Structure 1
Amino acid sequence: MNTIYLSDNQIVMNYNRMYPKNRDTLLKSDTFRFVLEYFMDEIQNPTILKYLTIDNSINIHQASKDMSRFLRQLAIFELDEIDHPYARDPDMLLTCIEEMYKFWRNRSRFAFMESEHMESFGVNTLVGMDSNLNNLILRTYRLFEEKVQGRSNSVYRNAQAGTNACFSIYKRGKKFAKGYEALQEIPMIDTVMLRTPMILHPRSSKRTGVINQIHQNPMEYFTGSKDNWFCYPCKVGSLLCLTYFNIKYMPLALSLANLFELATKEEVEQKPDLICIIGNEDDKNETQFYHDDENDIWIGCVSDDPRMDYFGYLKKMMLTLHNVRKMHDGWLPIHGAFVKVVMRDGSSKNIMLMGDSGAGKSESIEALKSVGKDYIRDVEVIFDDMGTIHIENGVPYGQGTEIGAFIRLDDLEPGTPYRDMDRSVFMAPENPNSRMVTPASPYRFIVQNHKIDLFAYANNYTDKYGLAELSVEDVKETCKMGKRMALGTTQEVGISTTYFANPFGPMQMEDVCEPLIDKTFRCLKENGVFTGEIYTHLGFSRENRKGLNVAAQELLEFITKDIQTNK
């Protein structure tokens, strides 16, 4: 990539080609002038534009040069010592400085640098450089503000004036298989620093459509190149997934750092299990996946389109690839939530709730934390959206896929988003379907085998309350029906059904999933696992939390009663 990339909503800087070590270097740089010109080209206020172009006597290109030169003078001299048209109207100059700073901060800002070929490179190199730039921009803005207004500020806000996130890159050494050569030169990410809370404003806030299986390898129409594409290599459960993204989708891709474990350089040299492509300029407006039988690689492709600028497309494509691969390995994907509830006396139970989006899986767990605060020491998240059940030596075990959670803010207890906001990424908080991506559990924990003590389907459409134990056969049929009241968090509204409540693999491959369901539920029965339904009432009202609270109370009673019985 060149020195800087600018678009309507983001700025990406290449530290290897442009890194200002001091204010003079910053103000003299072509990058700074380029940002000024972009600002002037985008400004909607004709009064400000007239002032910057000196009563329209110069064009925007010349105005950006003049402003850059003027600010270098202002950094040294007092305003009344400078003879320039910009200095004659301090109020308008202050307005322009404020608007330029606002323009900069209103965009998602990222930076990267190479970790290879740099002596003594380490995480402190990346973090130190990025932090220094943040301080430099903030000090420069304050200097100009105070000089123009003629006094020091009384209140200082230590805002994130530099980047929202930065990362380092390197080149993968091992050659790809034939047909994948286009990926070879695209840089891999090996370190990420997020400045949290990170607030993003993607162009879309809802996922629509389905992910379809196709019979043409997306690599045949892959449009990416090393100039404007990067790869976030990560572990989805135990699988290695190489996620290639168009620079336009950098905010979404870097948010993956809160959701999927970043793979090591040693792991990246292995053959990938999954390849995910986001932002392919193929004019298809599709989300599709393909199985390369010869190389045993599952490949997903998300087209470049404004509607795809939503984190759910990226996350769900990666999970779909994981699920179809795991089904072929004999593991059953579960769309749900699975937690280890640790009581104050040290005893614990593992609770698995299954259901489609909006059914109340995560909400029930949050309600359990609230009603059980006097009894529960900790709730350790194994998975919050997608996991698996597999059988070893006749025992069913659950494992997770993600180290974090992608949560709808309106579904949480009041105050919950703020509890973890210092580590979270917030997406479109101004929209009804606003979300947060927050870390949840260490990778080593989610990929362990966890026994299952309770398995329940999250029912948000039945006018019942609490937790009901049902036969394994009844629960299996309920799960296969996948019924829920959809409230518009995806494209669906009203009562809907999805095979096994999971449109991310099982729905596309019922023939593969069906025998796994039979085998798994038979194993649950043989191991005496509690099976039933939990009634959340979220299909009736997301504001009235009575149903959630009753269900959570009965979950707590199950946990404590079972523990007391075992004693």
Structure 2
Amino acid sequence: MKSENNLERTAIIKGDLKFTSIGQIIKSDQFIKLIKTFIKELDVKKPYFIRTLEPFQNEIGEFNEREFIDFVYLLNINSLDEIIRSGYFDIQFTYEEYSQLFLEFLEGFYNYWRGIQRFMIKMDSYSPDESTKRSKVFSLASNNDAFRKMVLDLYRNIHFNVTGKSFSIYRQLPSGAQVAFLADHFEFDREVKSKNDSLYQIPYIWEAVFEPPVIFYTQSNKRDGVFPVKDKRILQKFYLANDEWFGIPLKVGRLLAIVYVQKEYLALGAGLFNLFEMAKPEEFTKEKPDAAVFFGLDESIFEEDEKLGFVAKEDDVYYGLLPALPQIDYFGYMKKMLLTLHNVIQIENKALPVHGAFAKIRVHGKKSANIMLIGDSGAGKSETLEAINKLPKDCACDFDILIDDMGSLHFNKEGDLMAVGTEIGAFVRLDDLQPGYAYNTMDRSIFMNPNIVNARVIVPQMTYEEIAKSTRVDFVFYINNYEKIDDTAPPIELFDDLDAAYEVFSEGKRMAKGTTGEVGMTKTYFANPFGAVQLKEEHEKIAKKTFRKMQETGVKIGMIRTQLGIPGCEQDGPYIAAEALVAFIDQLNSEKK
């Protein structure tokens, strides 16, 4: 279901075609559709070069797209001057007049094509054999390469035949599919199926090929509200059309999840491949998922308080549902819905979900410290860790990120506090990163709305094996982004009083930076609006028990001041915090000698 202001911003290219001639593009249904939607935009904006279309309109202004397509086909192989002189088309302009008009139309259409989200999808049978899989992936990449070449050749041929001149500089601009997918229809074991049979008729994506730099522009750039948890049955309320929806199987930490995405939101679906581990067909066809997300459902099935998405449990599976609305066309909704489902399941399993970052930090090659940083969006968790990379080399420090945004805490049989992560990547706010970071990761990142405030990058960072295993936690810090560092408020502070520590964590105070719909000083229970708020009573029992046991087992609890929410401290604040954190770990190592 597409919203009215969201028409045809996604192009789906058939990946089973080997593009060998430009005619395959010009005569395709996709090309005709693109011409129509581009002309609709011109009808609204009314640029002067809209007069390019006059020769292909009848007396009442109706556009003959077939005749125009024939004209474009001829223009690929003949000069504009020859076509005008032939009289085959009723072009009542001189060559000089019409060449200028059409050149502007060509540039506008080419930029329009490169500005929409472009995906190539090849239906190809999955094979567990690694050599066969590689062969299929290479074939898909080759088809996209051929398609990109055909698009470039078409643009350059027409440009030459309009102007009579070649380019002084040839730029190999990204013109093919930004992401290519291999998909297949799978047979699911009977016992893993839900009561909605349409879920098993759609194609499931089993491999992806990215063409960097991958840049997507979505209709929204921030997330608002929390997802309510509803006690209702929902599976019979919708149907997934097999030519509109795709299934994306994932591992969210140790949980199995499937995301069902409507094709107009494939950009958000593509972002998942940089953030979560893909689940294999051998897993998702034979195991019942722990959770599932539906992104792009018809708005009519949602109640008023559900318009930003909601959670429901049915037949032992947690489901997250989001409607096809412009205001939630933002990757944060996709990511946070998955993490909300993860957290609700963790609470049900008596583990403590945490909204935070977790890293193993080493100083001077000595014993490392495993540091958990807890805080809400924009507090400075990822920024502080990334700032460690900017410290002087003589600090001799390095780190491994094990959790970037969400994880869970539990105690093992020996009584050690352990952490398990959820994501293999990071969804990072570009505005707060150290200069140059984004460019260092451009070849493997997905950029979201890089031209506006709260621009984001999704970058892979860890392996699944690293984030899915239990790792001991040495220190738990609350990330304070709102207090200025001074003599009474140091960068790092340890709590002596357990009640005081618990109050700081449970209050969840931060200075909101516009990463969500909040601004100014805010409070969110345990800095975690993703499950903890919705199931506060159950969460609080687990949290209090965890804090008491942390004190009993010697896990230190403290606070780090990043100053990220203080104007003017966006860069220096996390750097100072990183500097203090490394010095803190270095001092610990010295004391242990």
Shorter chain as denominator, the TM-score bin is over 0.9
The 10-residue stretch of structure 1 (384-393 or 317-326) with the greater mean CA deviation from structure 2? 384-393
User: RMSD across aligned C-alpha pairs, in angstroms?
Assistant: 2.4
| In structure 2, C-alpha distance between the alignment counterparts of 1:527 and 1:206, rounded to whole Å | 40
User: Superposed, which structure 2 residues align to 1:426-441 within 5 Å?
Assistant: 426-441=447-462
Instruction: Note the C-alpha offset of 1:227.
Output: 2.2
Give the aligned partner of residue 111 of structure 1.
120
Equivalent position to 2:389, from 369, 374, 394 = 369
Give the aligned partner of residue 128 of structure 1.
142
Equivalent position to 2:223, from 207, 211, 214 = 207
1:465 and 2:490 aligned: yes
1:287 and 2:334 aligned: no
| In structure 2, C-alpha distance between the alignment counterparts of 1:386 and 1:403, rounded to whole Å | 11
1:341 and 2:358 aligned: no
Give the aligned partner of residue 422 of structure 2.
401
Aligned residues: 560
1:559 and 2:585 aligned: yes
The 10-residue stretch of structure 1 (19-28 or 411-420) with the greater mean CA deviation from structure 2? 19-28
1:445 and 2:466 aligned: yes
Gaps of 5+ in 1: none
Whether the 8 Å contact between 1:425 and 1:436 is mirrored in structure 2 is yes
Letter aligned with residue 40 of structure 1:
I
1:242 and 2:258 aligned: yes
Aligned-pair identity (%): 35
Whether the 8 Å contact between 1:218 and 1:300 is mirrored in structure 2 is no
Give the aligned partner of residue 26 of structure 1.
25
Inter-CA distance 457–46: structure 2 relative to 1 (3 Å threshold): closer
| In structure 2, C-alpha distance between the alignment counterparts of 1:547 and 1:107, rounded to whole Å | 37
Give the aligned partner of residue 9 of structure 2.
9
User: Superposed, which structure 2 residues align to 1:8-407 within 5 Å?
Assistant: 8-16=8-16, 20-43=19-42, 44-45=45-46, 47-54=48-55, 56-57=57-58, 63-82=64-83, 83=86, 84=89, 85=91, 88=95, 89-116=98-125, 122-174=136-188, 175=190, 176-269=192-285, 270-283=287-300, 284=302, 285-292=307-314, 295-343=315-363, 345=365, 347-371=367-391, 373-376=393-396, 378-393=398-413, 394-407=415-428
Whether the 8 Å contact between 1:244 and 1:276 is mirrored in structure 2 is yes
Whether the 8 Å contact between 2:388 and 2:398 is mirrored in structure 1 is no
Instruction: Note the C-alpha offset of 1:7.
Output: 2.7
Q: Deviations over 1:282-315 (max 9, x none)?
A: 33224111122xx321111112211110111111
Equivalent position to 1:531, from 534, 551, 557 = 557
| In structure 2, C-alpha distance between the alignment counterparts of 1:226 and 1:241, rounded to whole Å | 19
Inter-CA distance 353–227: structure 2 relative to 1 (3 Å threshold): same
| In structure 1, C-alpha distance between the alignment counterparts of 2:15 and 2:472, rounded to whole Å | 47
Q: Deviations over 1:209-260 (max 9, x none)?
A: 2110101122132242212111111010010101111122111111111111
Q: Deviations over 1:443-497 (max 9, x none)?
A: 1111122111221101122332310111344322211121222233212222222
Instruction: Note the C-alpha offset of 1:60.
Output: 7.8
The 10-residue stretch of structure 1 (446-455 or 80-89) with the greater mean CA deviation from structure 2? 80-89
* SS of equivalent residue, structure 2 residue 542: helix
Letter aligned with residue 489 of structure 1:
T
The 10-residue stretch of structure 1 (352-361 or 20-29) with the greater mean CA deviation from structure 2? 20-29
| In structure 2, C-alpha distance between the alignment counterparts of 1:372 and 1:507, rounded to whole Å | 40
Inter-CA distance 60–183: structure 2 relative to 1 (3 Å threshold): farther
Whether the 8 Å contact between 1:186 and 1:226 is mirrored in structure 2 is yes
Inter-CA distance 246–501: structure 2 relative to 1 (3 Å threshold): same
Whether the 8 Å contact between 2:12 and 2:119 is mirrored in structure 1 is yes
* SS of equivalent residue, structure 1 residue 71: helix
Letter aligned with residue 121 of structure 2:
F
Whether the 8 Å contact between 2:126 and 2:206 is mirrored in structure 1 is no
Whether the 8 Å contact between 2:56 and 2:64 is mirrored in structure 1 is no
TM-score between both structures, scaled by the size of structure 1: 0.93
Gaps of 5+ in 2: none
Equivalent position to 1:491, from 509, 514, 517 = 517
| In structure 1, C-alpha distance between the alignment counterparts of 2:464 and 2:246, rounded to whole Å | 23
TM-score between both structures, scaled by the size of structure 2: 0.89
Inter-CA distance 31–545: structure 2 relative to 1 (3 Å threshold): closer
Inter-CA distance 58–146: structure 2 relative to 1 (3 Å threshold): farther
Whether the 8 Å contact between 2:15 and 2:140 is mirrored in structure 1 is no
Q: Deviations over 1:316-338 (max 9, x none)?
A: 11000001111222221110111
Inter-CA distance 437–78: structure 2 relative to 1 (3 Å threshold): same
The 10-residue stretch of structure 1 (176-185 or 189-198) with the greater mean CA deviation from structure 2? 176-185
Instruction: Note the C-alpha offset of 1:273.
Output: 0.6
Q: Deviations over 1:83-124 (max 9, x none)?
A: 243883322222222122112111111121111299986111
| In structure 2, C-alpha distance between the alignment counterparts of 1:132 and 1:374, rounded to whole Å | 49
Letter aligned with residue 492 of structure 2:
L
Whether the 8 Å contact between 1:395 and 1:523 is mirrored in structure 2 is no
| In structure 2, C-alpha distance between the alignment counterparts of 1:46 and 1:56, rounded to whole Å | 17
Letter aligned with residue 113 of structure 2:
W
Q: Deviations over 1:161-198 (max 9, x none)?
A: 11111111112311453523231112111011222221
Whether the 8 Å contact between 2:195 and 2:235 is mirrored in structure 1 is yes
Whether the 8 Å contact between 1:411 and 1:542 is mirrored in structure 2 is no
Whether the 8 Å contact between 1:223 and 1:281 is mirrored in structure 2 is no
The 10-residue stretch of structure 1 (513-522 or 228-237) with the greater mean CA deviation from structure 2? 513-522
Whether the 8 Å contact between 1:111 and 1:163 is mirrored in structure 2 is yes
Inter-CA distance 543–460: structure 2 relative to 1 (3 Å threshold): closer
Instruction: Note the C-alpha offset of 1:55.
Output: 7.4
Instruction: Note the C-alpha offset of 1:127.
Output: 1.2
Letter aligned with residue 13 of structure 1:
I
1:520 and 2:529 aligned: no
Whether the 8 Å contact between 2:141 and 2:209 is mirrored in structure 1 is yes
Q: Deviations over 1:393-425 (max 9, x none)?
A: 111111210111111111111222222122111
Letter aligned with residue 423 of structure 1:
R
Instruction: Note the C-alpha offset of 1:29.
Output: 2.8
* SS of equivalent residue, structure 2 residue 389: helix
Inter-CA distance 54–46: structure 2 relative to 1 (3 Å threshold): farther
1:482 and 2:481 aligned: no
Instruction: Note the C-alpha offset of 1:371.
Output: 2.3
Whether the 8 Å contact between 2:77 and 2:157 is mirrored in structure 1 is no
Instruction: Note the C-alpha offset of 1:61.
Output: 7.2
| In structure 1, C-alpha distance between the alignment counterparts of 2:274 and 2:213, rounded to whole Å | 12
